[in-house]
Amino acid sequence: DAKTTQPNSMESNEEEPVHLPCNHSTISGTDYIHWYRQLPSQGPEYVIHGLTSNVNNRMASLAIAEDRKSSTLILHRATLRDAAVYYCILRDEGGGTYKYIFGTGTRLKVLA
Amino acid sequence: EAGVTQFPSHSVIEKGQTVTLRCDPISGHDNLYWYRRVMGKEIKFLLHFVKESKQDESGMPNNRFLAERTGGTYSTLKVQPAELEDSGVYFCASSQGGWNEQFFGPGTRLTVL
């Protein structure tokens, strides 16, 4: 079972920042926090990942709480192309297995 | 650089028939994964290859499913015989190292009638 909890859906206006929350209260020390998104009719696409420190890349930023029990994916300026289902996934990278366990994700709707 | 490709994009078969799905990973990626989403549920892991070896096949639902990766390049997933509950979208993904990000293909939509 997925070890994360996300809101089912969120809405954002175009060109505004979006903060997508994720709760993972049972996170272990070897769990990395990964975010993927799935655009309509496509496979999931990597967005960002982190362990303890906040992370930035060209797509988004990841803010991780100090106790690591929650995290937030930040899209700095949402565009219509960002409308997708966003998945927050914990992956245990201490045990040699690299599978992803997907939850239901957050469906992001971007309004023009 | 070509991404992960899957063939066919869509397959419609009758219950009891056999279907083979193919996945071509990104060149040089030793790790190959199969996932599927059935009946509007979450995406579920099926198995993980490292080169031609099965590293983790804990998600394979039953012995009607057979995955192979001969030569460590492309992979096939055979369903024999197909059942109605096998309908869904089958995704393949690949990664360079096991800890690297996984690149997903567009999926094969399987419909069993």
Among A91, A77, A88, CA closest to A7: A88
* Residue carrying the six token digits 């009719």: A41
- The pLDDT tens digits for A8-58 are 999 999 999 999 999 999 998 889 999 999 999 999 999 999 999 999 999
- Residue A22 burial (CB count, 10 A): 25
Q: Which residues pair with A20 in a beta bridge?
A: A73
CB contact under 8 A, A43 and B93: yes
pLDDT score at B3? 94
Among A40, A71, A41, CA closest to A53: A71
Nearest Cβ partner for B104 among A2, A44, A99 = A44
What Rg value do the Cα atoms of chain B yield, rounded? 13
pLDDT score at A8? 96
Among A81, A93, A43, A99, CA closest to B48: A99
pLDDT score at A92? 83
CB contact under 8 A, A46 and B101: yes
* Residue B1 reports pLDDT greater than 80: no
Q: Which chain B residues contact residue A103 at CB under 8 A? A: 42
Nearest chain B Cα distance for residue A91, angstroms: 9
Token output for A107: 């469906």
Mean pLDDT over all residues of chain A?
A: 93
Q: Which chain A residues contact residue B23 at CB under 8 A? A: none
CA closest to B34 among chain A residues? A99
